[in-house]
Amino acid sequence: MRQPSIDTGTQTTVDRWIISRAQYDALAAECKVHTLAGDAIKILETPNGSFIKLFKLKSLLSSGLVYPYNLRFAHNAVKLRTLGVPSIESIQTFFVPRIMLQCAIYTPLPGLSLIDQSPSHNLISALAQFVADLHHRGIYFRSLHLGNVITLPAGGFGLIDVSGMHFKGRPLRPSERVRNFHHLFRREDNRVWYGKSGATHLMHEYEKAAADFDEVSGNLTDRFLSLFDS
């Protein structure tokens, strides 16, 4: 068993490893905690600036044993990049059987998350166009919220935390779009960031962009804003 290393080249496949508890402990001891959820560590940061995302299996009956969460995360990132959507890179995955831990080690996407920026008319307009483009491409991102959308140094947006995603192979249906916006509006910090006027602007700009792509019919704006008010 070999401890994973970082590959910085252009990636089209995902390396997979099985490592021992001792190897994992040695690797983790060199890292600092980047993200916590309660008391659980979600992301570690390595000394060279790479991240390690942790997926803890809670049951032997978990679907994560059939299609591991770290592989979903890695495969989705690779698929996004093949579709022209920037995402994390240089992914290797490893499994620590002794503690039922699946991990993905990767280079973070440079930029700043939307939740860490002040909202503006232009930023919200650009976000609306980006989401409409995702939906036109058939990308249903279950973790679509402001913390997972990154503004890139060269302009445009990218996605992180991409384990929960479906690629439909066709433009999303109106009902799927409404469900996806539920993820964008259900977090209180996201709702505060937009405000009602920002949410209204987002929806109007989204509907215009979606109509340009797909000729989506029906007043989606009212349906979207009902999510914001709920």
The encoded tokens of residue 161 equal 């935390």
Its pTM stands at 0.85
- C-alpha 184/C-alpha 191 separation (Å) is 8
- C-alpha 132/C-alpha 145 separation (Å) is 14
- C-alpha 115/C-alpha 52 separation (Å) is 22
Q: What is the pLDDT of residues 108-141, one digit of tens each?
A: 999 999 999 999 999 999 999 999 999 999 999 9
Closest by Cα among 6, 132, 149, 43 to 86? 149
> Structural domain boundaries of the chain?
15-107, 112-229
CATH 1.10.510.10 fits 112-229, yes or no: yes
Q: What per-residue string of b and e applies to 129-149 under the rule 16 or more CB within 10 Å gives b? A: bbbbbbbbbebbbeebbbebb
145 contacts 190 by C-beta, under 8 angstroms: yes
Q: What is the pLDDT of residue 99?
A: 92
Closest by Cα among 32, 14, 30 to 162? 14
What region, left, alpha or beta, does residue 33 occupy, with left being phi > 0 and alpha being psi -120 to 50 degrees?
Answer: beta
Radius of gyration of the chain (CA): 19
Looking at 1.10.20, 3.30.200, 3.60.15, 1.10.3470, the CATH number of the domain 15-107 comes to: 3.30.200
Q: Which residues of the chain have pLDDT under 70?
A: 1-15, 59-65, 214-219, 228-230
Q: What is the pLDDT of residue 182?
A: 84
Q: What is the pLDDT of residue 4?
A: 39
